[in-house]
Amino acid sequence: MLSCFAKLPVVTLNIERSFVVDEYFAAGGLTRLSGSINLAHALKLNVVAEGAATDEHMRPVRLTHCYEMRGSLFGRQVTAEIFEERYQ
């Protein structure tokens, strides 16, 4: 199955917020999170952890050597109009 996955035109694995936050606090959660990230790295994929809202959320992600994150800790969502106004 992994050989089929490796052939897909995928360059990035997004790890959703619930997996980052909820799994970490569940029994064995850090092991599952780390295994997923290690597998993605072995397949030469970029890994982005979603849902970084606090330093506490980022801790398990950093422990598993995932250094790309996104979430409200870095900035709140804005409308298209506000985005254009700020970044044009």
Q: Tell how strand 12-15 and strand 46-50 pair up.
A: parallel
Confidence check: pLDDT of 18 > 70: yes
Tell me, what's the pLDDT at 81? 92
Model confidence, pTM: 0.68
pLDDT at 44 over 70: yes
Question: Which residues are within 8 A (CB) of 65 and not within 5 positions of it... i.e. 6 or more apart?
Answer: 37, 38, 41
Residue spans of beta strands (DSSP E) within the chain: 12-15, 46-50, 68-70
Query: What pLDDT does residue 32 have?
Result: 82
Residue 79 has pLDDT above 60, yes or no: yes
* pLDDT at 47 > cutoff 80: yes
pLDDT of res. 23: 62
How many Å separate Cα 19 from the centre of its chain?
9
